[in-house]
């Protein structure tokens, strides 16, 4: 069975550019989570969706960040404009209800 799929795996961009991260959850999972991991702040929840509906986006750092889930098999996290402090590993995870979350491999974002 395919796990959570994220693309790209690595992204290097210049400050000010738009960045779009993509996630395909495990088929049948109805909850999707976006996390950011940095050395300084650890693993932080940015936003999560239940049945494609955003439930809690209080972790989204600022208006430059936005996330969508147009259907049960796809979600995007967009940063516009990107800044060097956005450099981090971004994880997508999915779950059935509130059972264990399964993580994707992550996207390592570097903003120069």
Partner 1 sequence: AQKITQTQPGMFVQEKEAVTLDCTYDTSDPSYGLFWYKQPSSGEMIFLIYQGSYDQQNATEGRYSLNFQKARKSANLVISASQLGDSAMYFCAMREGRSTENYGQNFVFGPGTRLSVLP
| 8 A C-beta contact, residue 80 and residue 68 | no
Q: C-alpha 53: how far from its chain's center?
A: 15
Least distance to partner 1, CB of residue 24, Å? 16
Residue 5 binds to partner 1 (criterion: CB under 8 A): no
Residue 31 binds to partner 1 (criterion: CB under 8 A): yes
Stretch that binds partner 1, among 11-19, 39-47, 70-78, 79-87 (CB under 8 A): 39-47
Strand pairing of 10-13 and 107-111?
parallel
Q: Could you say which of 21, 75, 88, 101 contacts partner 1 (CB under 8 A)?
A: 101
β-sheet bridge partners, residue 109: 11, 88
């Amino acid at each position: 069975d395919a796990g959570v799929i994220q693309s790209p795996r690595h992204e290097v961009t210049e400050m000010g550019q738009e960045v779009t991260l993509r996630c395909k959850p495990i088929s049948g999972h109805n909850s999707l989570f976006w996390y950011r991991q940095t050395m300084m702040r650890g693993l932080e929840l940015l936003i999560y969706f239940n049945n494609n509906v955003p439930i809690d986006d209080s972790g989204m750092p600022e208006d430059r960040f936005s996330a969508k889930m147009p259907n049960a098999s796809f979600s995007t996290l967009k940063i516009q404009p990107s800044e060097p402090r956005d450099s981090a590993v971004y994880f997508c995870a999915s779950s059935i209800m509130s059972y264990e979350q399964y993580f994707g491999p992550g996207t390592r974002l570097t903003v120069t």
